[in-house]
Each structure stands twice: as C-alpha cells, then as structure tokens.
C-alpha cells in the first residue's frame, strides 16, 4: 500500500480525538482575523476546540475560492516558492491530540488559485522551504511518520524520516509539488547523521539511519552497519529488518500516479520495485476514483485500477490497466480493498514479482504474479507461487478460526454459526497437507493469528529455492473471548525443490524471532 498497510496502522495509532467542551459550556466566541497574500485575502475564523470547526478561507473580494477546515487552522506562510512571481500560501489544519494530526495544503495564488499539494504531516506542524538542488523552484521539506510507534517503540523513542516535495511536471497538466524524497540522497544521509550525533543512541535514530541506507540503495550496507551497533539495537534491527525494507516500498514513488496525470486527490496503494526489468525503479499502483475521496462524501465505494508507472525522460508514464477491482476510498488518500498487491519479492533475475492478497471470496489467498508493462501474469509452477499458497492457506485458517470468537450484536443465528464452521473446515482441509511437511508444533484448529509482515527469497535457482517470511503466530485457548488473538513474531522458512517437472515444498519451519526493545 506500499501504503503499505503498515502506514495505515501507524496513522491509526497516531490519531487522537480532541477533547470536546463540557455540554453546559457556552460556545466559544469566533475570533476572526484577516491578512493579505498576493491578490487575495486570507480569513481565519477560530473557535478554539469548540464547534464549529475552525476555518481558513482564501477570498478574492467577497468570493471564497478555497477553504480548509479543522479543529484548528493556520496560515503557515505566504511566499513565492515556484519562482513564477506569484505567491503560494501554505494552509494547515490540526485535528488536535498529543501527537497528531497536521494536514498541509499549498495553493498557488493565480487566478483562480491552483492547489499544488495536500500533505498529511502527522506530528509535524509545518513544511520547511529549502533549496536542495541549487537552482529552480524551492523544495518543501516535511516529515514522514510511518514508523511512529512501530517495531515496539514508544512515541518518545520514535523519529520521522524526512520527506521532500519537489515542483515537477505532470502529464497532461501544470506542475505540482509531489513527493520526491529519493532524489536527495545526500540530504537524507546528512539528516540521519545529525539525528544520531548524540552521546546516547536511541531507537528512532537507529531506525532512520538504517532506513536511509536502504532508501539510498545500500540495503546490504544497512545490515552490515546494523550488526555493529550496541545492544539491544543490533538484535532489534536484525529482528525487524525485513519488515523495515518492505515498509519503505512506496517511499519516493507514492506520487508517481499523480506525476503521470492521475488526479491529485485520487486514493491509492503503491508498491515500489523492479517489475518489468532488472535495475529499474517502478511503481505498481492500485488507484481509485478521485470523486470517491471527496472529504464531504466520506468513505465511498469505487473501482480501483492497477497499472505500472515508469520513468520516461523527466516524467512518469503509466501503462495500460492490468486489473480492475472494487475498492473503498478513505479520506487521507488511502484505499481499502479485498484485492491488493501486498509484497514485491526480488527474484534471482533482478526483477520483482508481486504477491497479491485476495479476500474477495471471504477466504484468504496469496496469489503470485509476474508484472510487465502490459500484463499481469499469474504464476503457478513457480517456487514463490507455491510458497505464497502455503502462506495464504495458513492465513485463511487464522481468519476463519478467529472469526468464530467474535461476539456480534445481535448474536449469530444457527445458520450463521454453521457457515462459520463450514469455512473453518474448508480452510483446515486446504491447510492440513502442509502440516505433514513441518516439525513445528502448530495446532491448526486453534490457529487464530497468522499475519505475514514481509516475504523474501533467500535462494532462487533452477531446482532449489527458499522463501522466508516474518509472521505473527498465535493460537486460541480456553480464555479466548474475542477475534483479536495475540501472536508472537516468527521466521517462517520454506524450502522448495523442483523434481518430476514441478515445484513442491520439501520442508518448512517456524522459529521465534528475538530482539525486542525493552520499553520498561
């Protein structure tokens, strides 16, 4: 996704609900102030944390041409950052809460004003204006909080990655500010160095340093560096390394659909990788309708279109539709879908294949595809495809078993309970043959948590392959009283061989992963 689903989880943890005034308190008075920016008037109407929401409006005479509303609002700055002689204005909305959430909207005050950027900034209260490439339009620097609370960290130990927005051409339209962080490796490295320029190391700084090495194309160096760090950080980074690498997949390519002409507010989920050829940087994106993301309409059903986005010259181009599926759009630019590309897995060829999570039938399936510019081809007699089937079958058991512990209101009918049991039995039928290929003690009828966080191939030859995955595994017990069954982290290793003209799993193991931070 990826916004990636990890990003959604982190943002959900960040989200805080502001305190409402006591019911008997009188409404706070509206404070109205105005200021001028270019040919326009900026009008702020503030109510503190009361109702209605605060509002900042851009007016030309008496006409309101743009508006931002939130619990609190502000005008961050008014200046020409594009270099065209027309000022831009950065408006901020703040939802309230200890660590969240700021949203920034940038308008060029042309006639009429043109929206250049909407950025979800989480805990960061503004975008800084910088000149990072020595010439041309200025860059905007914010923060990417995708790792907040992640990997066992408290918020106090969390740290953001820098995010850089550049003013770049857009196919079929005028330039926009788009996320372009990977274009500034020197800036990223300097940022990471300064974050760790302190006497006592801290987990957030270590994570930013590791992530920066991955982002700037040095993942092998990142692992070597991590092993030299003091305890407990070396073991912690080794524990979460695969997850971190996966969770960075969409950084730097999230806005490639926008650069290819997709509307600015179209919701999406994005995977980065080398899909059509080795050594390329491409984005596989599932993009929904821009209309479905209109905040006033809330969550909306839509159709998502999967396509491959690639650099061409100084721009980004999109290939033909590879797949269309129903999706739901959520405010904030994200998609929720029962079919979505979850993992990009590097093969020995240097290309990435994609594992799609498909729950459209109510069951979980992991299906492996090879991607070209014009086609999405399902792989079957392939080691990654066979391994993904195993992962899907175990995930499906957990989904069906955990659902039986839900306690809906009103209670389920006898027919509904019978259908749940039928699904459990069907899932066990598919998964039971895998149990004969492992010595791991796993009680399938009680498996209620099996979540895959990352998938990698550690061997990929003509007749032998190995796939590893970081997974959370947990079983229901006599005290289980809800569908939320806790799990612990494991490495799942799948060994495969090719014989008699077909690929098959020869053995798989589950080994607990170690290396957690002590948060006490």
pLDDT in tens, 234-264: 999 999 999 999 999 999 999 999 999 999 8
Q: Rounded to the nearest 10 degrees, what angle do helices 219-227 and 233-247 cross at? A: 160
All residues at 6 or more sequence positions from 91 whose CB lies less than 8 Å from its CB, including other chains: 56, 58, 68, 73, 74, 75, 76, 104, 105, 106, 107
Number of domains composing the chain: 2
Q: Please tell me the least confidently modeled range out of 85-99, 180-194, 286-300, 475-489.
A: 286-300
Residue 87 clears pLDDT 50, i.e. is over it:
yes
**Is residue 347 domain-resident?**
no
**Is residue 454 domain-resident?**
yes
Residue 417 belongs to a domain with what CATH number? 3.10.450
**Is residue 418 domain-resident?**
yes
Which structural domain range is residue 454 located in?
380-520
**Is residue 44 domain-resident?**
yes
Q: Last residue of a domain, which of 191, 219, 247?
A: 247
**Is residue 145 domain-resident?**
yes
Q: How far apart are CA 411 and CA 389, in angstroms?
A: 33
pTM for the whole structure? 0.90
All residues at 6 or more sequence positions from 29 whose CB lies less than 8 Å from its CB, including other chains: 47
**Is residue 479 domain-resident?**
yes
Q: In this structure, are 23 and 164 located in the same domain?
A: yes
Calculate ∠ Cα 179-121-188, nearest 5°: 50
**Is residue 263 domain-resident?**
no
Residue 378 clears pLDDT 70, i.e. is over it:
yes
pLDDT bracket for residue 129 (50, 70, 90): very high
pLDDT of residue 24: 53
pLDDT bracket for residue 291 (50, 70, 90): low
- Percent of the chain at pLDDT > 90 equals 81
Q: Please tell me the least confidently modeled range out of 297-301, 386-390, 452-456.
A: 297-301
Please, what is the end-to-end C-alpha distance for the chain in angstroms?
Answer: 32
Q: How far apart are CA 142 and CA 163, in angstroms?
A: 5
**Is residue 305 domain-resident?**
no
Condensed to tens digits (0 to 9), the pLDDT of residues 156-192 reads 899 999 999 999 999 999 999 999 999 999 999 999 9
All residues at 6 or more sequence positions from 511 whose CB lies less than 8 Å from its CB, including other chains: 490, 491, 493
Q: Please tell me the least confidently modeled range out of 19-33, 414-428, 467-481.
A: 19-33
Q: Last residue of a domain, which of 223, 247, 271?
A: 247
pLDDT of residue 16: 41
Q: Last residue of a domain, which of 190, 225, 247?
A: 247
């Amino acid at each position: 996704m990826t916004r990636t689903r990890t990003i959604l989880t982190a943002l959900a943890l960040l989200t805080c609900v502001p305190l409402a005034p006591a019911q008997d308190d009188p409404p706070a008075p509206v404070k109205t102030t105005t200021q001028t920016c270019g040919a326009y008037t900026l009008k702020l109407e503030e109510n503190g944390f009361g109702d209605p929401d605060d509002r900042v409006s851009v007016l030309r005479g008496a006409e309101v041409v743009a508006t931002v509303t939130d619990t609190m609002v502000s005008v961050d700055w008014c200046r020409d950052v594009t270099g065209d002689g027309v000022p831009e204005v950065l408006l901020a909305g703040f939802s309230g809460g200890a660590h969240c959430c700021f949203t920034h909207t940038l308008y060029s005050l042309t006639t009429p004003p043109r929206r250049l950027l909407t950025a979800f900034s989480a805990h960061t209260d503004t975008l800084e204006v910088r000149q990072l490439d020595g010439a041309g339009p200025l860059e905007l620097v914010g923060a990417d909080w995708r790792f907040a609370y992640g990997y066992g960290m408290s918020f106090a130990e969390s740290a953001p990655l820098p995010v850089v927005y550049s003013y770049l051409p857009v196919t079929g339209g005028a330039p926009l500010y788009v996320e372009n962080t990977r274009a500034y490796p020197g800036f990223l490295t300097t940022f990471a160095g300064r974050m760790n320029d302190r006497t006592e190391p801290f987990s957030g700084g270590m994570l930013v340093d590791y992530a920066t090495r991955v982002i700037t194309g040095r993942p092998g160096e990142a692992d070597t560096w991590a092993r030299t760090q003091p305890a407990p950080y070396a073991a912690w980074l080794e524990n979460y390394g695969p997850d971190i690498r996966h969770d960075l997949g969409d950084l730097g390519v999230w806005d490639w659909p926008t650069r290819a002409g997709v509307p600015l507010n179209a919701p999406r989920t994005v995977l980065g990788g080398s899909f059509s050829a080795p050594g390329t940087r491409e984005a596989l994106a599932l993009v929904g309708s821009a209309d479905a993301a209109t905040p006033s309409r809330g969550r909306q059903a839509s159709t998502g279109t999967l396509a491959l986005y690639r650099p061409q010259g100084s721009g980004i181009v999109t290939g033909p539709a590879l797949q269309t599926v129903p999706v739901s759009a959520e405010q904030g630019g994200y998609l929720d879908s029962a079919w979505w590309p979850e993992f990009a897995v590097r093969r020995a060829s240097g290309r990435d294949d994609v594992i799609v999570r498909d729950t459209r039938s109510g069951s979980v399936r992991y299906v492996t595809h090879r991607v070209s510019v014009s086609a999405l081809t399902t792989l079957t007699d392939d080691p990654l495809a066979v391994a993904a089937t195993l992962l899907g079958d175990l995930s499906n058991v957990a989904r069906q078993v955990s659902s039986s512990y839900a306690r809906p209101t009103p209670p389920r009918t006898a027919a509904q309970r019978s259908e749940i049991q039928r699904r459990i039995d069907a899932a066990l039928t598919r998964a039971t043959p895998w149990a004969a290929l492992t010595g791991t003690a796993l009680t399938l009828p009680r498996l209620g948590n099996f979540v895959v966080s990352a998938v990698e191939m550690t061997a990929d030859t003509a007749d032998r392959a190995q796939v590893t995955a970081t997974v959370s595994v947990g079983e229901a017990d006599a005290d289980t009283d809800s569908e939320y069954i806790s799990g612990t982290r494991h490495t799942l290793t799948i060994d495969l061989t090719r014989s008699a003209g077909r690929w098959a799993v020869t053995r798989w193991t589950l080994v607990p992963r170690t290396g957690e931070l002590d948060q006490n």
